[in-house]
Amino acid sequence: MGRTNDMSDERRIRKRENERINRRTKTLLNKGFELGQLDGIEVALLICKYGHYTTFKTKGFVAREPSWTAIVS
């Protein structure tokens, strides 16, 4: 019975951590959007979480984007 409790605790901790990461990611994307609204500022974000990528770039982003090989390495 103690082992089941340990698994439940680990699951709960992972879920809480994942929720925290999701909130911080959302906040970061919002801040990137807000910065992109300012004149002369271009924003590009690349967030990798467990092998899944989230990207954001401001409209009209003209800087050269990195290649996929550069991103992965």
What integer pLDDT is reported at residue 30 of this predicted model? Answer: 92
Tokens representing 40? 């002369």
The DSSP output letter for 63 is S
> How far is 68 from 73, CA to CA, in rounded Å?
9
What integer pLDDT is reported at residue 40 of this predicted model? Answer: 81
What integer pLDDT is reported at residue 65 of this predicted model? Answer: 66
What integer pLDDT is reported at residue 16 of this predicted model? Answer: 94
What integer pLDDT is reported at residue 71 of this predicted model? Answer: 67
What integer pLDDT is reported at residue 3 of this predicted model? Answer: 63
Q: Flag residues of the chain having pLDDT under 50.
A: none
- Are 57 and 67 in contact by the 8 Å Cβ rule? The answer is no
Q: Which residues pair with 52 in a beta bridge?
A: 49
The whole-model pTM stands at 0.66
